Structure 1
Amino acid sequence: MTAVLPPPHTAAGPLPVRQFSRVEDGERLHGLLWRAGAGWRMISSAVLGGGIGERSWVLNAQVSHGYRRTDPERHLAGLARDAGAGGPGVGLMTAADVRAHGHASDQGVTAVATAGLGVRGWAASPAEGVTTAARPGTVNIVVAVPAALTDAALVNAVATTTEAKVQALLDAGYDCSGTPTDAVCVAARSPRPGGEVHAFAGPRSLWGARVARAVHQAVHAAASRA
């Protein structure tokens, strides 16, 4: 049984996330919801709304450490709907307490990160990969860019976000590149007729440099609270 309580907190900035709480199977869990509205294209590795497309909201939902549901897409869609989000969106999940998120901005770019680092390691490992889902520890990162990006630049922005995440984890004292279930969502404005569309988002590009700095600050803050 799930009960969603009214959101008590709104973070200021270009990516205003609303915090809400719910009770699920007797446990109080939390979530962050960004109701972006129309005019956004997002790229994400999320279980709900992944890939590239027009999206109007992003949910980062805390789940129990013993999460065993086999329908995470349906679960996340229901949580978003109960929290007031409609239309297509992106749904992320984590076992971390999302109230300890990091929030940072750099010249118009905003990043919000949550860090569950109980199960962490290096990406290149001799261990064999598995086909089943890993435990939901997870570093989740959401980035908003107030400019239009090409598809290639959106992919580039994901790479830049990941590089900045690893740098932040090392700077925060963690000997790892992340967790097995890290997820990312980068949102950029939808192109407008006659408007500029940026083709690059690497760490030394105009918008990529801002993405890298914002993500580094947000992940470092979240990791320091983990």
Structure 2
Amino acid sequence: MRYFVRDGTLFIRGRFRAASTGVGGGIADVTTVLNHTVPHDFQEDPVRRLELITAWHGVFRDYFGLLTAVDMRHLCVLQYDYVTVFITAGVSNPTPSPSTPHTINIIAYSREGMADAALLETIITATGAKAWALHHLGYDFPGTTTDAVVVACERDAEPMHTYAGTLTEIGRRVHEAVLFGLPEALARQQGRVKREGPSFFIYSRYGGDHWVEWQKENCPYHPCHFAGQRCDYCYCPCYPCGDEDLGEWVNSSNGGSVWGCAGCTLLHIPEVADYMKRNPEATLAELKRFRERL
């Protein structure tokens, strides 16, 4: 899975099995999930708008799309092990009035395979967490009139998850990510938290389980590799790459194994980081070849 923001649109690219409640939703194999920002006075046909956006960016018709009036600068991305959740949220007035245009869009992605039933149950889990988060924030409604959820997993992965309620491992991760991420997304959209671009959070077990917002400007470990390094991709979009030239599998504290790549500097090289920004779907082999030409 790769994701990037371009021209006011979040693109999530890969080979997915996905379920969507958004425009043209359902259950299907798709290569793209996108969340596109539209003007606050948007009155166009949403299907036509997404067709134009995807055609402009060279995306085929196998996609699920969402629309929002929230600027992608306020996007929150939350990574909890093999689960990544993307949230944009707008609730400018605490009212359930259908005449007030608000939207909370949630996209949940699993690196591990899921049965179709689990994809559908994740929509319920994410929606329940959204309602719970809004309640804790003092709102008297469980959602807005145009909310949507997309759930995607790796199409080629063996289905490891049959269910996705809050008592399951995957459901618990999605629930916690939405419960934490929705208030953060609203804080950014409402201007209470200022960020120049999307915010990235990771669930850390170091020093006790908690969420950490990663900000390259305030990283206490900088520079962790070499002077002049770039940190745009500190949390590598290729992870876990499995390339033993760059890392190795190590035993984890819970008895499993995790990909360890603390010594990898590939995407810290300024020229490689710039290349990745220009070509966000570049393969690992392509990035390594580019490095060799420097």
TM (normalized to structure 1)?
0.75
Which stretches in structure 2 are left out of the alignment for 5+ residues? 190-294
Q: Match of 1:65, as an amino acid? A: H
In structure 2, distance between residues paired with 1:171 and 1:86? 40
Paired with 1:114 and 1:202, the residues of 2 have a C-alpha distance of 23
**Hey, what's the Cα distance between the residues in 2 that align with 1:47 and 1:119?**
25
Match of 1:33 in 2: 11
Counterpart code for 1:105: Q
Quote how far apart the aligned CAs of 1:197 are: 3.7
Q: 1:175 & 1:223 partners in 2: Cα distance? A: 15
2:170 matched to 1:207? yes
Q: How many residue pairs are counted as aligned between the two chains?
A: 189
What is the 5 A alignment of 1:10-89?
Answer: 16-21=2-7, 30-35=8-13, 37-38=14-15, 40-48=16-24, 50-69=25-44, 71-89=45-63
- Runs of 4+ in structure 1 over 4 Å off: 119-122
Aligned residue in 2 for 1:91: 65
- Structure 1 residues without counterparts, runs of 5 or longer: 1-14, 22-29
Aligned residue for 1:34, secondary structure, equals strand
Distance 1:187 1:135 in 2: 29
* Displacement after TM superposition at 1:87 (Å): 4.0
Tell me how far 1:214 sits from its aligned partner: 1.7
| Counterparts of 2:151 and 2:35, CA distance in 1 | 13
d(CA) in 2 for partners of 1:170 and 1:225? 18
Distance 1:174 1:81 in 2: 39
Query: Does structure 1 conserve the Cα–Cα contact (< 8 Å) formed by 2:115 and 2:159?
Result: no
Q: Aligned partners of 2:138, 2:71: CA distance in 1, in Å? A: 20
Does 1 or 2 have the higher relative contact order (CA < 8 Å, sep 6+)? 1
Percent of pairs with identical residues: 34
Matches within 5 A, 1:1-226: 16-21=2-7, 30-35=8-13, 37-38=14-15, 40-48=16-24, 50-69=25-44, 71-118=45-92, 121=95, 136-190=101-155, 195-226=158-189
Q: 1:78 is matched by which residue type in structure 2?
A: L
